[in-house]
Structure 1
Amino acid sequence: MRVFLTGATGFIGSAIVPNLLDDGHEVLGLARSEPSAELLRQAGCDVLKGDLRDLESLRRGSQQADAVIHTAFDHDFSRMADNCEMDRVAIEAMGSALAGTGKRFIVTSGLPPLMGRVSTETDILPPGAHGMPRVSEQVAMALIDSGVSVSVIRMPQVHDRNRQGFASYLMDHARRQGVSAYVGGGQNRWPAVHRLDVARLYRLVLDNGVNGEHYHAVGEEGVAVRDVAEAIGRRLGVPAISLSEEESATHFGWLDRIARMDVPASSVLTRQHLAWHPLQKAGLVQDILDSL
């Protein structure tokens, strides 16, 4: 199968590429620059020059492939509204090129923000979840009526030794502040998964996913933020401290909402339906301690 992959040189996409190639698929990777294009060529991919704002390149790549995997997203929080709108338009553009074909379109989304409750694959993600205007999942699912086979993979905190999702932002903040903080008892939880386990899940969804289904790329159901903060403290050699709710907003700034999140998530149905089981031994805390 020939697969058009956005974000092909990104954190997740670059791990998906060898999984697809090893499984016998061909990869057409979207590349914004010549250095990115060269990386893809060296990996054994075909290259399509373009980016998420170049809608014609997205349509062309979708038309040239048997399936599309969309992992590209700009995580610049200072421009989140614009980035979410760019993502929405990009998904619609690729969807228009796939209309009536029945081709598989795998779209990346976030987990349902059901504060304090373990979310499952059957929970519906509302528009504007977490105060973020990202609607990747909602826009993708609406394409089913136009004859596109849509599957959505929902992401927790994705990590390896180089990056640890939101924990990387907390680590940068702790480095600047000289302390690693959590709120109250720090028992609020973040789900997490290793980058290499995520890559395997995309391949499984490509081969065996069901139209209209949501899949949870969750390796750890919920890692206590206190454990995250203490690991950051050990890694940086700074104290880990508890903040009151009143102190949190002043200390964390825009990170306050992230530091307070309690969004555990299950992947039981994903594991049952696709026989997907995380294989990487390092969890989020270990990768923080071993971070480069």
Structure 2
Amino acid sequence: MHVFVTGGSGFIGTHTIKELIDHGHQVTAIARSDASAKTLEELGAKVVRATLEDTDVLFEHAKASDAVIHLAYIHDFADYSGRPARVDENAVTTFGRALQGTNKPLVTTTGVLTYTIDGDEDTAKTSGHRGRAEAIAFSFADKGVRPISIRLGASVHGAGDHGFVPVLIQKAKEAGYVGYPGDGSTRWPPIHVDDAATLYRLAIEKDIPGATALHAIAEPAVSQKALAEVIGKKLGLPLKSLNANETKAYYGWLEFFVTLDGELKSQKTRDITGWQPRGKTLLEDLESGTYFD
């Protein structure tokens, strides 16, 4: 298949493109910068210089593809529900229009932390801008498109991770102790980046009906206390339970995410795709030294 990819030079994107090419697919991906273009070229992808706001370019290349995988998002936490959301929603709309009447897969991306606790792929509900983008994609299901939403685990981990876990480690180094919110019971459902890449590939290869959500969750959710214990052991730092004010001061922008609790299921995802996660667990990754070398 010829696959059009956004966000291909990022942590998840590079693994996904490698997975696609290793399995015989051709990839065209957008790049904003020379560095991103170089990364994509080295992976074997054809590069198109564009941003998510170049909707004419997105439309052209989506229309010429056999599938679209949309990974890119403007991660501006100061304006998360403003311009980044509008750009994302416009991009998803553009992809849907480009693929109308083709029955081709449009794979979009969101995260599980904004979804209701203890839900599965059918019952979990969300709101806000990421939920709107998913709803926009799903609205094209009755217009000859097969929209599939991959809801990523809160921690997509592995070598090269620049998501939440490295921030937790840096916060601990700066503070001289490893903090965790309250009793540390809030949980993140994790997934190894290689397993996430495999699921993106399966999402376009399998004949999955439109308006299907897939949960990229590889293991039971891991508590903030469990994460803090391993980080403390690896750094040789003490642990500290934080009250609400201390949590805000310690985490900054990350406070919102560490105080969310999520335990979503992924059995339906495994059943309809044949996906079997094989990567290390999050705690195994931390114990192995991946994040501390």
Shift of 1:70: 0.5
- Quick check: 1:68–1:104 contact (8 Å CA) kept in 2? yes
Aligned to 1:288: 286
Alignment equivalent of 1:143, drawn from 130, 140, 143: 140
Segments of 4+ in structure 1 off by > 3 A? 112-115
Query: 2:225 aligns to what SS in structure 1?
Result: helix
Q: For residues 57-76 of structure 1, what are the structure 2 equivalents within 5 Å?
A: 57-76=57-76
Query: 1:58 aligns to what SS in structure 2?
Result: helix
Q: For residues 85-234 of structure 1, what are the structure 2 equivalents within 5 Å?
A: 85-111=86-112, 113-114=114-115, 117-128=117-128, 135-156=132-153, 157-163=155-161, 165-208=163-206, 209-234=208-233
Spell out, residue by residue over 1:7-33, the C-alpha distance to the aligned partner (whole angstroms, 9 max, x if none): 111111111112111222111111112
Spell out, residue by residue over 1:154-185, the C-alpha distance to the aligned partner (whole angstroms, 9 max, x if none): 01110113326322222222222222111222
Spell out, residue by residue over 1:202-237, the C-alpha distance to the aligned partner (whole angstroms, 9 max, x if none): 111111132221111101221011011222223333
Spell out, residue by residue over 1:123-154, the C-alpha distance to the aligned partner (whole angstroms, 9 max, x if none): 243321xxx66633122111223321111110
- Quick check: 1:180–1:239 contact (8 Å CA) kept in 2? yes
Identity across the alignment (%): 34
- Residues 65 and 37 (structure 1), Cα distance of their counterparts in 2 relative to 1, 3 Å cut: same
Aligned to 2:276: 277
- Mapped partners of 1:35, 1:164: distance in 2: 17
- Mapped partners of 1:207, 1:72: distance in 2: 21
Aligned to 1:15: 15
Alpha-carbon RMSD: 1.9
TM-score by length of 1: 0.91
Query: 1:52 aligns to what SS in structure 2?
Result: coil
Aligned to 1:56: 56
- Residues 248 and 234 (structure 1), Cα distance of their counterparts in 2 relative to 1, 3 Å cut: same
- Compare 257-266 and 211-220 and name the one that shifted more: 257-266
- Residues 143 and 202 (structure 1), Cα distance of their counterparts in 2 relative to 1, 3 Å cut: same
Gaps of 5+ in 1: none
Gaps of 5+ in 2: none
- Quick check: 2:269–2:275 contact (8 Å CA) kept in 1? yes
